[in-house]
Amino acid sequence: MTEPLAFDIREYLRLELMPHFMCPGCGHGIALRALLWAVHELGIAKDKLAVVSGIGCSGRVGAYIDANTYHTTHGRPLAFATGLALARPDLKVVVITGDGDCLAIGGNHLLHACRRNLDLTCLMFNNEVYGMTGGQVSPTTSATRLTTTTPTGNAEPVFDACRIAEAAGASFVGREVTRQVPALKNLIKSAMSHVGFSFVEVISDCTEIYGRKNDLGEAPEMILHQKADMRPEAFGNVADQPFRPNRLTTGILSQHDLPEYGETYRARAALLRSGEK
């Protein structure tokens, strides 16, 4: 059995930007470690890694990565990443986005990224709230939870991001929690190795805004809560949704070999240049 490569996260960080802005116990830092651990084990050179992020707490995470990083407008990281991946197929393109950035203002871009099946990896950090902009409700805020815009509890049904991505045509869909760091690292490795559009939902925790408002305890209690019930309350009454198991499923949820959009696009462009129809 091959010994794992020694991993020092400092080799992949912009140390001059430290200390980071993330709150104590924020799951996004754990997700960042898992991503960089996966990059390390895959042997991706830093000048061949491109990380595109949007707005929100998740959007700031990419700034700490010592690679090609691109901080874009709210909800648009997948649109920017589409252009980048088409123009530079030699790069490994990763999108870091949040539940609000990806599913609310950016929901349209997610649908079309899934159906195109361009070779890039989308990591959606789901902390169920707009943590950086005041703690507003997001499309994944659990039923009855309190936010600044739902002071009596969230009455809206929530999105299952993985089911949306799968239905829209993503050829790789997975989910993991930040408590299971090696499993999350391995899932990200699988997603980045897959040829086509890979969507990974990372269940993260917002300890300061979401946790305090909902009396969910300190960071250790919140991360143990991930293990205890995997947030079934995020999907309302399970009895009303027979497709939904009592616990959120993690790991690789679906994977298919489908035509990759970039290869198809370049092949058709070559035909046009040659004068063929």
Q: Please enumerate in sequence order all residues whose Cβ is within 8 A of that of 100, keeping only pairs 6 or more positions apart, or say none.
A: 56, 129, 130, 136, 138, 139
For the domain made up of 25-274, give the CATH fold. Rossmann fold (3.40.50)
pTM above 0.75, yes or no: yes
pLDDT tens, per residue, the chain with 277 residues? 455 678 999 999 999 999 999 999 999 999 999 999 999 999 999 999 999 999 999 999 999 999 999 999 999 999 999 999 999 999 999 999 999 999 999 999 999 999 999 999 999 999 999 999 899 999 999 989 999 999 999 999 999 999 999 999 999 999 999 999 999 999 999 999 999 999 999 999 999 999 999 999 999 999 888 866 554 444 444 344 433 344 678 999 999 999 999 999 999 999 988 876 5
Domain ranges of the chain: 25-274
What are the percentages of helix, strand and coil residues in the chain, rounded to 5? 45, 20, 40
Cα 140 to chain center, whole Å?
A: 13
